[in-house]
Amino acid sequence: MKGYCGKVLHVDLTGGHFEVETPDEAFYRKYMGGSAVGAYYCLKMIEPGIDAFDPGNVLVFATSATTGAPVSGASRFNVNAKSPLTGGLGDSQAGGFWGTELKYAGFDAVVITGRAPKPSFLWIHDGECELRDASGIWGMETGPAQDAVRKAVGEPRARVALIGPAGENLVRFACIANELRHYNGRNGMGAVMGSKNLKAIAVKGSNAPEFADRDAIIAFAQAGAKRSIDHPSTKTLREHGTARTILTSQSIGGLPTRNWTSGSFELAEQISGQEMTRTILKKNEACWACAVRCKRVVEAKEPYEIDPQYGGPEYETMSALGSYVGVGDLPAVAKAAEVCNRLGIDTISAGGTIAFAMECFEKGLINKDDTDGLEVRFGSSEALLKLLELIAYRKGIGDTLAEGAYRAAEKIGKGAQKFAICCKKQEFPAHMPTAKGSLALAYSLNPFGADHMSSNHDASISSDTLSESIKSLGFSKTYPMKVLNFEKAKLFGYTQKYYSALDSLDLCMFCFGVNLIFCPNDVVELLNLCTGWDATLWELMLIGERRINMFRAFNAREGFTIEDDALPEREFEPLVGGTTEGDKVDREAYFKAREQYFRIMGWDEKTGLPGQDKLAELGLDWI
């Protein structure tokens, strides 16, 4: 079997036992890898209704057939478990080098159950696995912990996925870091690791995956690298990283500001990617084999000392720790990003939760008695940095905020729920449904909470000329960005299936997303070059749809209903300030488009659930 190792490592942390499963080719072709494989094991192995921190929760790290191919964008891996933040099936991807190294070490996936009796880490190397004592590493920030793990295994080039103090302290939005620069950020997967007493997974291998046609893969990679030089999107990614989007969002009135009360931030230029390039950028870096090189590394000595080993902030981070909280000081935002990376906190949920706290403070729902004298006000970089520390160590008000904005609002009461900008209890990423109409559906209907990387955004069918990529997915007309109608429901539904397939192949959206250096047919070609199959785009879209339905079924099993497919009330209220004055999501248009989406997906329009016939159609009648 080409493209795969053909081995899945099962780890029982409670007993310290290991078992190797060897799935057949039919399994791999049906679920492909990444997120779909993770969803499969979670559905099969997690008992309904258990708490996310129960030892019975299953934590899956998975790669795919394309992981480790020397191609731009083929670096990613996926982590799945029941989410402590949403209560549904959690999902989080990261780039870097860890996923490729796992394949070199001989495994396609690692399925982890139980809870280690003491702090531990896994050491996976060339087909072998050991459970090591991490008692002396527990409590360390991510940088020192990575050094300690590498020293313990005697391998300075081991790739290490690990948690910081936030994961150990069960912060519900704790993340997993690898190489200190790449993060499985969302859904609290780091907290699940912490609940299992699992500090890290170190991997090292010396056996490259066997692909069906390596020479053709090299030619494919070279063509993509050449294309990336002048492609308008990848060119600006290389120059300014994803933070280039700050000014783009500002220009369309879509930069979330002061807890989503406005889409226009008067200090946007000061925290833009262009300003970062001009001032504190040290260099840009790449994930495995990637020609785009969009990763930032920043460094500064004053007014904050910023350590370059933790990389640099992305667009979401710049917004969440900047405009969300009204902080327009670039060094402060970059320092806050470094703090999150050291402590192991998802920057998006951290910024959304702190913005929530700031609005509660300014509206008088909490006061200095609750915050140990700290002035938690918009624009305060001091409050931002202090709250991040308090959250990671669950001290004072940080213990409440470590639960995330939704649960913190329930605890605070007094109408605080209005200020928690979440879907399925997960804080919003930095793209506004008032500016991009289809995201009203994407945020409320995505099974693992508000997410900006699960579908194509509205610009793809809003420009004067449609690209060949978007045409190939069934679109022929253009519509204004803010409009929410049937075509936007179709945009979400169709491209959600495509991006779901990419998440099952663990391919990067910035290389393989619509209108980028590779098109949908290129995805099919790469898969076939890796495996020797004769797969089609139809087959990949079915894999994407299969994954979405598995997530939907898991959530239904855990008690989710159509009531959870909802936007926070603030999205239906007029924004205030700047070019966004008065903008809001049209309530009637939203509910109509939601029903249309359910019909597009073949689900019951009154419940939003797939029926048994739909599951059977997708080969999921076992659910």
For 391-401, write each residue's pLDDT tens digit.
999 999 999 99
Span 240-251, average pLDDT: 96
The predicted pLDDT at position 580 comes to 83
Amino acid identity for residue 19 in this structure: E
Distance CA 560, CA 260 (A): 26
Span 536-562, average pLDDT: 98
User: Are the C-beta atoms of 493 and 601 separated by less than 8 Å?
Assistant: yes
Phi, psi of 274 (to 5 degrees): -65, -40
What DSSP designation does 345 have?
Answer: B
The predicted pLDDT at position 578 comes to 79
What DSSP designation does 296 have?
Answer: E
Span 64-85, average pLDDT: 97
User: Are the C-beta atoms of 273 and 241 separated by less than 8 Å?
Assistant: yes
CA neighbor of 361 nearest in space, from 401, 402, 333, 320: 401
Phi, psi of 154 (to 5 degrees): 70, 30
Question: Above pLDDT 90, what percent of the chain?
Answer: 98
Q: What is the residue whose two structure tokens read 């880490």?
A: 121
User: Are the C-beta atoms of 294 and 239 separated by less than 8 Å?
Assistant: no
Span 21-45, average pLDDT: 98
What DSSP designation does 323 have?
Answer: I
Confidence band for 579, pLDDT divided at 50, 70 and 90: confident
Q: What is the residue whose two structure tokens read 């160590």?
A: 393
Tokens of 374: 């700290």
Q: What is the 3-state secondary structure (H, E, C) of 389-408?
A: HHHHCCCCHHHHHCCCHHHH
Does 464 score more than 90 pLDDT?
Answer: no
Does 387 score more than 90 pLDDT?
Answer: yes
Tokens of 239: 């120059």
Confidence band for 577, pLDDT divided at 50, 70 and 90: confident
CA neighbor of 472 nearest in space, from 525, 521, 528: 521
In angstroms, what CA-CA distances link 477 with 472, 474, 593?
13, 10, 17
In angstroms, what CA-CA distances link 554 with 46, 141, 171, 290, 609?
10, 34, 23, 34, 11
Query: What pTM does this model have?
Result: 0.98
**How many Cβ atoms from other residues are within 10 Å of residue 301's Cβ?**
9
Q: What is the residue whose two structure tokens read 């809001």?
A: 584
Does 274 score more than 90 pLDDT?
Answer: yes
Does 465 score more than 90 pLDDT?
Answer: no
The predicted pLDDT at position 109 comes to 98
CA neighbor of 237 nearest in space, from 295, 322, 280: 295
Span 209-224, average pLDDT: 97
Does 438 score more than 90 pLDDT?
Answer: yes
> Mean pLDDT, the chain, as a whole number?
97
Confidence band for 583, pLDDT divided at 50, 70 and 90: very high
- For the stretch 131-143, pLDDT in tens is 999 999 999 999 9
CA neighbor of 69 nearest in space, from 455, 468, 511: 511
Question: Above pLDDT 70, what percent of the chain?
Answer: 100
Distance CA 523, CA 473 (A): 13
Span 13-17, average pLDDT: 97
Phi-psi category of residue 68: left, alpha or beta, with phi > 0 → left and psi -120 to 50 → alpha: left
Confidence band for 411, pLDDT divided at 50, 70 and 90: very high
- For the stretch 466-486, pLDDT in tens is 999 999 999 999 999 999 999
